[in-house]
């Protein structure tokens, strides 16, 4: 009887542990928030703080473009090849994209004003 109780208890605990780790839901993708304009500003933030370093992986980037004179581009400068226009110059509004960030140095910028409107961060 005691042995049967231990076996049943062990089986129940194993089912509980397996169920808690495999809920069937995919892990939430972290969100980064980009803003460009209306003046000559561009930012990329996570949880309200400017992005300077991230772990490699998938991210959802939500960009709010506040001016038809600007755009928001994302580029991997070292460690690989990636360049993507998240908004174009004529666009005003909000767009989102899911991207996979790989190790290296990354840059976000406004293409027409790249010399003054940019930011950089590292992916580790």
Is residue 96 in a domain?
yes
Mean pLDDT within 27-45: 96
Question: What does the DSSP assignment read for 96-110?
Answer: EEEEEEPSEEEEEE-
Confidence at residue 1, expressed as pLDDT on a 0 to 100 scale = 53
Is residue 2 in a domain?
no
Confidence at residue 19, expressed as pLDDT on a 0 to 100 scale = 47
Is residue 68 in a domain?
yes
* CATH number for the domain harbouring residue 79: 2.60.40.420
Is residue 35 in a domain?
yes
pLDDT, tens digit, 9 for 90 and up, residues 50-107: 999 999 999 999 999 999 999 999 999 987 789 999 999 999 999 999 999 999 999 9
Is residue 119 in a domain?
yes
Is residue 20 in a domain?
no
Confidence at residue 7, expressed as pLDDT on a 0 to 100 scale = 47
Task: Quote the domain boundaries for residue 47.
Answer: 31-123
Give the alpha-carbon dihedral of 47, 51, 53, 54, to 10 degrees. 50
Count: domains in the chain? 1
**Does the pLDDT of residue 15 top 80, yes or no?**
no
Is residue 9 in a domain?
no
Q: pLDDT exceeding 70 applies to what percent of the chain?
A: 80
Is residue 80 in a domain?
yes
Pairing of strands 31-36, 82-87: unpaired
């Amino acid at each position: 009887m005691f042995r049967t109780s231990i076996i049943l208890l062990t089986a129940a605990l194993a089912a509980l542990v397996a169920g808690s780790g495999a809920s069937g839901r995919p892990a939430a993708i972290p969100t980064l928030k980009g803003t460009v304009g209306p003046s000559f500003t561009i930012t990329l933030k996570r949880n309200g703080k400017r992005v300077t370093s991230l772990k490699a992986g998938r991210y959802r980037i939500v960009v709010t473009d506040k001016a038809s004179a600007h755009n928001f581009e994302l580029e991997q400068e070292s460690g690989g090849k990636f360049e993507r226009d998240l908004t174009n110059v004529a666009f005003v509004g909000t767009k989102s994209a899911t991207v996979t960030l790989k190790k290296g140095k990354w840059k976000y910028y406004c293409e027409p004003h790249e010399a003054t409107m940019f930011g950089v961060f590292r992916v580790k």
